[in-house]
Amino acid sequence: MTPETVTSIGQQALWVTMMIAAPLLLSALAIGLLVGMFQAATQINEMTLSFIPKLLVLVAALIMAGPWMLGVLVTFTQQLFQQIPSLIA
């Protein structure tokens, strides 16, 4: 196994990690921005006001994007397992 192969596998793993994390992080970022603007406009500084909507949006995003995320992870894992014979030899 060459250093280029290890680097390529690591790069693919980071790309898959980014794709899996993106729906959850972007939805939390969007709702956090909206709640922050609402809190700034109304001057309500309640911590649970930002936590509960983020939690609900993350659960909804996980329900909607979960099957896709699992599919991406399974595909990547299957590709890695299929590459094992060529990586060893």
Query: The pTM is what?
Result: 0.79
Domain boundaries, the chain: 20-88
Please report which residue ranges of 3-88 form alpha helices under DSSP H.
3-42, 47-88
| Structure-token pair, residue 14 | 């980071």
Own/partner contacts of 62-71, CB < 8 Å, gap of 24 or more, are 62/24, 64/23, 65/23, 65/24, 68/23, 69/19, 69/20, 69/23
| pLDDT tens column, 34-80 | 999 998 898 888 878 888 999 999 999 999 999 999 999 999 999 99
What is the mean pLDDT of the segment spanning 7-21?
A: 96
Instruction: Give the alpha-carbon dihedral of 79, 84, 85, 88, to 10 degrees.
Output: 150
